[in-house]
Chain A
Amino acid sequence: MSAMVIDERDNVAVALSNIKRGDKILVGIGEKFMDIVAKSDIPLGHKMAIVRIPKGGEVVKYGAVIGRAMVDIEPGEHVHIHNVESLRGRGDLAKRVK
């Protein structure tokens, strides 16, 4: 197993090793497993999408919403600050509204 899903409601898995683009990844979800081909390099501890997350869609980890997709994210893609934004403490958004 080289990635694990923490809560079965999650749409991302956590990489348990340094994953390279093109690697076939065995993802553990509780007692079950699924195969996903990595679409990007994913460093140890970083997140990988396990399903398609459309632009504006919620990113879910620990069974909780941790942010919003800024672009469409495909299964196997690295999920991080380049494609996910926070919904909280966003002074920049408040400023734009003004």
Chain B
Amino acid sequence: MKCEELLEALNAYVDGELEALFPADFCQEFQRHLEGCQPCRVVVDTLRFTVALYRNQEPYPLPPAFQERLRQILRQRWEMRGQG
């Protein structure tokens, strides 16, 4: 297996879906290549880091003025809905 071929299955591997999506002999070749190829191992590690960074990003907080306005608008709409 070449590095390019490993790349095709990289997401499946990083997401823990390699065995589910690829035949057993492909998975074995994938593992064998990874054990012998340091650049590919580092790509796998840093791709995992990349995904982890964004999965664990804190959301942006709502600007306080907008938060207040939003709450008012929704309360008004809530009451209209009750009457409708």
Q: Do A and B come from one complex?
A: no
Q: Which residues of A contact B (CB under 8 A)?
A: none
